[in-house]
């Protein structure tokens, strides 16, 4: 969005057109900036009352004499957890792509191996990680992207999750595949929208925010890449493509 049309010096129609195009880009950029600022301000504002609510509820849950009250308080505490996750995710969404975080060279195989080692999996995990697949990016964001895909894969897999890093057609490719029920073709774009959760038994029970894939795709785009669901006979395969850093 920050690129501008070169401005010819004259007063002819082309110069006028270039000026109009640039003025429109300026307005768009300011509008996007205001929207991001709003999401960021709102998230910060929401944090304080949520923290207060949590403190009061935790205090109340220390007095377990009344079982009915205790149940109400515990349920309110779970709602507070959820609110907190949504606010954290919204704040992250507002920050992606603002250039506020430092970029570095990242070896995708090393990053994936470290993230997998850090986690404990309740199911079988297969890896096929090629070396020397290096990209430029914000490490924390790319780890988060992979984390969101792994969270989902674990939630929806029947028994096996596989993670692949390779370079293909001049791009870096990182793919996370599970052997679960899959995502119907008609829903494959919709799941990347904010707050979309498919109405399946597992999604309902899963307690996510519905923001995980929106965040993952936003991070992919901010890095000049794409995140898509690819066809499989069985299960789901998320493929992240990023420009290779040479």
In contact, 87 and 81? CB cutoff 8 Å: no
Name the residues that contact ligand ADP, by CB under 6 A: 148, 152-153, 156, 178, 180, 183, 191, 196-198, 200, 203, 206, 208-214, 236
Number of Cβ within 10 Å of residue 82's Cβ equals 13
Closest to ligand ADP by CB, 57 or 192: 192
CA–CA gap between residue 76 and residue 59 (Å, rounded): 12
CA–CA gap between residue 63 and residue 65 (Å, rounded): 6
CB of 46 to ligand ADP, least distance (A): 18
Closest to ligand ADP by CB, 93 or 108: 93
Q: Taking the CA atoms of the chain, what radius of gyration do you get in angstroms?
A: 22
Helix, strand or coil, per DSSP, at residue 164: strand
Closest to ligand ADP by CB, 106 or 214: 214
Long-range contacts of 4-7 (CB under 8 A, 24+ apart): none
DSSP 8-state assignment for residue 191: G
CA–CA gap between residue 46 and residue 88 (Å, rounded): 10
Closest to ligand ADP by CB, 107 or 218: 218
CB of 87 to ligand ADP, least distance (A): 14
Nearest partner of 156 among 164, 146, 148, judged by Cα = 148
Round to the nearest angstrom and report the end-to-end CA distance of the chain. Answer: 25
Closest to ligand ADP by CB, 107 or 148: 148
Closest to ligand ADP by CB, 6 or 205: 205
CA–CA gap between residue 238 and residue 188 (Å, rounded): 10
CB of 82 to ligand ADP, least distance (A): 11
CB of 236 to ligand ADP, least distance (A): 4
CB of 57 to ligand ADP, least distance (A): 23
H helix or E strand, kind and range, residue 226: strand 226-230
Closest to ligand ADP by CB, 171 or 188: 188
List of residues 6+ apart from 181 with CB closer than 8 A: 156, 200, 202, 235
Taking CB atoms, the residue at the shortest distance from ligand ADP is: 208
CB of 4 to ligand ADP, least distance (A): 34
CB of 157 to ligand ADP, least distance (A): 7
């Amino acid at each position: 969005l920050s690129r501008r049309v070169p401005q010819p010096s004259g007063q002819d129609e082309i110069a006028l057109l270039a000026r109009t195009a640039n003025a429109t880009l300026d307005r768009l950029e300011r509008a996007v900036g205001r929207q991001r600022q709003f999401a960021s301000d709102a998230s910060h504002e929401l944090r304080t009352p949520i923290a207060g609510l949590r403190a009061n509820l935790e205090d109340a849950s220390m007095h377990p004499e009344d079982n009915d009250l205790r149940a109400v308080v515990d349920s309110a505490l779970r709602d507070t957890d959820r609110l907190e996750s949504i606010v954290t995710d919204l704040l992250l969404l507002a920050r992606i792509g603002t250039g506020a975080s430092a970029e570095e060279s990242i070896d995708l195989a090393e990053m994936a191996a470290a993230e997998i080692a850090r986690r404990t999996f309740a199911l079988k995990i297969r890896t096929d990680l090629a070396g020397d697949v290096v990209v430029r990016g914000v490490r924390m964001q790319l780890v988060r992207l992979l984390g969101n895909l792994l969270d989902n894969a674990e939630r929806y897999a029947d028994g096996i999750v596989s993670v692949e890093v390779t370079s293909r057609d001049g791009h870096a490719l990182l793919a996370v595949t599970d052997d679960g029920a899959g995502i119907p073709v008609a829903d494959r774009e919709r799941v990347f929208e904010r707050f979309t959760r498919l109405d399946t038994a597992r999604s309902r029970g899963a307690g996510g925010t519905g923001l995980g894939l929106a965040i993952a795709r936003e991070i992919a785009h901010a890095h000049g890449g794409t995140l898509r669901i690819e066809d499989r006979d069985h299960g789901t395969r998320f493929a992240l493509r990023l420009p290779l850093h040479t």
